[in-house]
Amino acid sequence: MALPFFHQERITGRYVGCFDAAPGVACAYIDPTGYRDVEILGILYANLQATGFVTLRATGSFEGKVSASHLIVEDGGGLLGEMRIAN
pLDDT at position 77 is 93
pTM of the complete model: 0.69
Ramachandran category for residue 30: left, alpha or beta (phi over 0 → left; psi -120 to 50 → alpha): alpha
Distances (CA, A) of 50 to 28, 35, 64: 16, 5, 13
Q: Are 56 and 79 in contact (CB under 8 A)?
A: yes
pLDDT at position 46 is 83
Name the residue among 44, 35, 18 with its Cα closest to residue 69: 35
pLDDT at position 2 is 42
Could you list the pLDDT tens digit for every one of the 87 residues in the chain? 444 444 444 544 445 455 555 566 666 666 666 788 888 888 888 888 888 888 999 988 888 889 999 999 999 999 999 999 997
Whole-number Å distance between alpha carbons of 47 and 67: 8
Helix (H/G/I), strand (E/B), else coil: 44: strand
- Give 73's DSSP letter: E
Domain boundaries, the chain: 26-85
